[in-house]
Amino acid sequence: MTPEPQTVDLADTSVRDLNAALHALSPDTNMTAWRVLNPGGRHALAAGLLAPVTVEIMGHAGYYCAGMNQMATVVVHGNAGTGVAENMMSGRVEVRGDASQSAGASAHGGLLLIGGNAGARCGISLKGADIVVKGSVGHMSAFMAQAGTLVVLGDAGDSFGDSIYEAHLYVRGHVANLGTDCVEKPMRDANRAELFAKLAAAGLAGEVDVGAFRRYGSSRLLYQFHVDHAAAY
């Protein structure tokens, strides 16, 4: 039986009070369903959660929504500002609309699903999370991405994967150009299996052909300094 959601209306409640109520929840709470009304693009909504709850934000969110998330599921029924799911450790964050720049920055774990487009630097310094973008991503996406995956069903902007480490990048559309030390790599069976698993986790396995994607990653030329590559550092 689905629990009746706890409803918080930000027209008459502060973000501080909302987050305090969510932070007070223990991992074994039975108050697992929350609905936030009239978010109005406010910042830091549902940030720093530490319990397996579901928070639905019924509108647009501002900066750093669901930042530092652990275990929770946060759904934004609208667009999200800079740094959505920044430094996420686990759980799931879903943006039904577009996301601004630096979506999923430094995220260590969990899944970030963006239903529209993502701005510049999507997945910057990614450290192990999975990001799936149904639309396109802006310039410098996956900059210095260290681990995890970025799956883009649309196109990718300039300097894609610049200074990448060991994250896995998959793009179905057109890549404007690749950043320093990022190269296209062959799609092997293990990569197809990984991509299928990420799409399945995002609920897209039956909708998207794995064979339509191309894979990108590090050429590993910048792992150690070499004078022949000095101009690339």
Residue 1 falls within a domain, yes or no? no
The pTM assigned to this predicted structure is 0.94
The domain that holds 184 is classified in CATH as 2.160.20.60
Separation of alpha carbons 35 and 12, rounded Å: 14
Query: Other CB atoms closer than 10 Å to residue 99's CB: what's the count?
Result: 32
Predicted pLDDT at 44:
98
CA distances from 121 to 101, 138, 195 (A): 6, 7, 21
What mean pLDDT do residues 12-35 have? 97
Q: What SS3 class is residue 111?
A: strand
pLDDT, one tens digit per residue, over 103-122 is: 999 999 999 999 999 999 99
- In the chain, the number of structural domains is 1
Predicted pLDDT at 221:
76
Better-scored residue on pLDDT, 82 or 1? 82
Output the DSSP codes for 135-201. Answer: S-B-TTTTTT--EEEEEESS-B-TTBTTT--S-EEEESS-BS-B-TTEEEE---HHHHHHHHHHHHH
CA quadruple 52, 56, 57, 58: dihedral, nearest 10: -170
Predicted pLDDT at 202:
97
Check pLDDT > 90 for residue 224: no
User: Mean pLDDT score of the chain, rounded to an integer?
Assistant: 95
Check pLDDT > 90 for residue 73: yes
At 102, give phi and psi (nearest 5°): 60, 30
pLDDT, one tens digit per residue, over 122-165 is: 999 999 999 999 999 999 999 999 999 999 999 999 999 999 99
Which residues span the domain enclosing 104? Answer: 6-232
What mean pLDDT do residues 13-35 have? 97
Predicted pLDDT at 210:
96
pLDDT, one tens digit per residue, over 166-189 is: 999 999 999 999 999 999 999 999
CA quadruple 80, 67, 125, 117: dihedral, nearest 10: -20
Output the DSSP codes for 52-105. Answer: S-EEEE-S-B-TTTTTT--S-EEEESS-B-TTTTTT--SSEEEESS-B-TTTTT
Q: Is the dihedral of CA 208, 210, 211, 213 positive or negative?
A: positive
CA distances from 150 to 14, 122, 167, 205, 221 (A): 34, 9, 8, 16, 21
Residue 74 falls within a domain, yes or no? yes
Residue 204 falls within a domain, yes or no? yes
Residue 215 falls within a domain, yes or no? yes
Residue 21 falls within a domain, yes or no? yes
Residue 223 falls within a domain, yes or no? yes
Query: Other CB atoms closer than 10 Å to residue 23's CB: what's the count?
Result: 12
Residue 83 falls within a domain, yes or no? yes
Better-scored residue on pLDDT, 221 or 204? 204
Separation of alpha carbons 45 and 179, rounded Å: 33
User: Residue 206: pLDDT band by 50, 70, 90 thresholds?
Assistant: confident
Check pLDDT > 70 for residue 231: no
Residue 164 falls within a domain, yes or no? yes
Query: Other CB atoms closer than 10 Å to residue 42's CB: what's the count?
Result: 20
Better-scored residue on pLDDT, 61 or 224? 61
Predicted pLDDT at 229:
57
Structure-block tokens of residue 185: 């790599």
